[in-house]
């Protein structure tokens, strides 16, 4: 399901993949795919100076140009973006930096830590307040040409175009250096050294509660058949090998959402707004290093701490105490959003759903959950994913929706 296909027809397996994994492996990635043989630790005591040098080198290569006087950075208040901001300031001291953070209505406000970091590093700080996260969804989907709804990056890049032609971020830190601690801990508790490939795949899926629901197979209609075995086959190469259980998770995370969700989506948004995407952590040296360091430099099970190597690097600078310990990464509270306005928007567009008419989705499944007074967050996420698919379908298949239409109640 991509723009290259002319969007004249739809691939059912792409729909089932996106609504189950939140990515489609047929989307061509911009970063190299990794095989299990690439993740063999060979550096037992990695140097923080090496990772610092590689990140600074990327910053210098992309920004050390007399024509670049100003840059924006997406600042969430966490380790990755704070580290990149610090290294930009140290690498090119004279460059002007504007930090951009996002504050969502009825959600945890993570901009306080970002504001402290921006003040400490003496950069201008812009906070985007988003009352209705879904308002511009048709426009965002028309840009990425894929049915995703969680598109905070659209708002960040849109804001940055009024400030600079360059936007930096700490993206890739979680996938490369072990940031998804809540998943690692649960996965290690669900598996052991005797777990077979399928058991590990199912456990891995159980650790991604935003992606699928227990009755996932009932979502789809007659024209879009769902088969769990096909989902397992996508993940099988990452778990059918001699790597440790945790290393297999790192491999699956890298080859999944980073390659086939974040990278292509962000690239499309940057291209649309003509903004250069600066991702210093995703340089070739850092990617190679992430494959060579031991798991102990990524995740500590006893303390449930991640990104150990990056934390050691942060300790060199005076920002450690400013970084949010509970940073969620530009996260909107989906349940609050659903109850405030998401449900009403969903009902409006599914009054005469094109996906139901064309037997892509199962009306009975939707009716079972959409009007529940209390609904689990997993089903909220799934219904929002279905809303994005409906918007995509109307934009590109039935072509009866204007991309400038606003989703309001």
Report whether 7 contacts 396 (CB < 8 A).
yes
Give the span between the Cα atoms of 66 and 97, in whole angstroms: 15
- In this prediction, residue 9 carries a pLDDT of 55
Q: What is the pLDDT of residue 4?
A: 38
Question: What pLDDT was estimated at residue 40?
Answer: 85
- pLDDT value at position 8? 41
pLDDT of residue 66: 67
Q: What does the pLDDT read at residue 3?
A: 37
Task: Please determine, looking at this structure, whether the domain spanning 43-174+261-322 carries the CATH number 3.40.50.620.
Answer: yes
- Could you read off the pLDDT of 174-202 as tens digits, one per residue? 999 999 999 999 999 999 999 999 999 99
Mean pLDDT of all residues belonging to the chain: 92
| Beta strands at 166-168 and 70-74: parallel, antiparallel or unpaired | parallel
DSSP letter, residue 32? P
| CB-CB neighbours of 30 under 10 Å | 12
Q: Range(s) for CATH 3.40.50.620 in the chain?
A: 43-174+261-322
Mean pLDDT of 15-30: 93
pLDDT at 319: 82
Q: What angle is formed at CA 159 by the lines to CA 157 and CA 162, rounded to 5 degrees? A: 110
The whole-number pLDDT of residue 1 equals 44
Q: Pull the structure tokens for residue 95.
A: 């460059």
Distance of alpha carbon 375 from alpha carbon 361, whole angstroms: 20
Categorize the per-residue pLDDT at 297 as very low, low, confident or very high, splitting at 50, 70 and 90. very high
List, for residues 299-341, the tens digit of each pLDDT value.
Answer: 999 999 999 999 999 999 878 888 876 655 557 999 999 999 9
DSSP codes, 82-94 = HHHHHHHHHHSTT
């Amino acid at each position: 399901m991509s723009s290259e296909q002319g969007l004249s027809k739809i691939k059912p397996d792409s729909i089932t993949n996106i609504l189950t994994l939140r990515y489609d492996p047929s989307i061509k990635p911009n970063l190299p795919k990794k095989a299990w043989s690439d993740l063999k630790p060979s550096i037992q005591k990695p140097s923080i100076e090496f990772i610092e040098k590689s990140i600074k080198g990327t910053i210098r290569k992309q920004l050390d140009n007399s024509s670049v006087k100003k840059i924006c950075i997406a600042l969430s208040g966490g380790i990755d973006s704070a580290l990149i901001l610090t290294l930009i300031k140290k690498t090119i001291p004279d460059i002007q930096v504007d930090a951009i953070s996002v504050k969502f209505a009825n959600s945890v406000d993570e901009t306080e830590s970002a504001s402290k970091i921006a003040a400490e590093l003496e950069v201008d700080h812009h906070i985007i307040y988003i009352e209705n996260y879904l308002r511009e969804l048709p426009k965002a989907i028309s840009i990425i040409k894929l049915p995703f709804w969680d598109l905070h990056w659209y708002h960040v890049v849109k804001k940055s175009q009024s400030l600079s032609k360059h936007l930096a971020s700490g993206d890739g830190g979680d996938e490369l250096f072990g940031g998804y601690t809540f998943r690692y801990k649960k996965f290690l508790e669900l598996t052991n050294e005797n777990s077979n490939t399928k058991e590990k795949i199912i456990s891995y899926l159980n650790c991604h509660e935003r992606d699928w629901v227990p009755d996932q197979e009932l979502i789809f209609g007659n024209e879009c058949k769902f088969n769990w075995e096909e989902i397992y086959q996508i993940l099988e190469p990452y778990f059918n090998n001699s790597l440790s259980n945790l290393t297999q998770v790192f491999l699956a995370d890298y080859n999944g959402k980073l390659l086939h969700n974040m990278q292509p989506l962000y690239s499309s948004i940057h291209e649309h707004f003509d903004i250069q995407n600066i991702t210093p952590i995703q340089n070739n040296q850092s990617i190679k290093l992430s494959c060579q360091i031991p798991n102990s430099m990524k995740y500590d099970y006893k303390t449930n701490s991640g990104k150990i190597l990056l934390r050691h690097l942060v300790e060199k600078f005076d920002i450690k105490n400013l970084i949010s310990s509970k940073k969620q990464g530009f996260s909107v509270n989906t349940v609050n959003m659903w109850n405030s306005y998401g449900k009403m928007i969903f009902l409006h567009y599914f009054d005469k759903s094109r996906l139901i008419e064309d037997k892509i989705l199962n009306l009975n499944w939707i009716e079972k959950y959409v009007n529940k007074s209390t609904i689990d967050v997993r089903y909220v996420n799934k219904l929002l994913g279905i809303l994005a698919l409906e918007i995509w379908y109307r934009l590109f298949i039935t072509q009866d929706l204007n991309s400038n239409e606003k989703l309001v109640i």
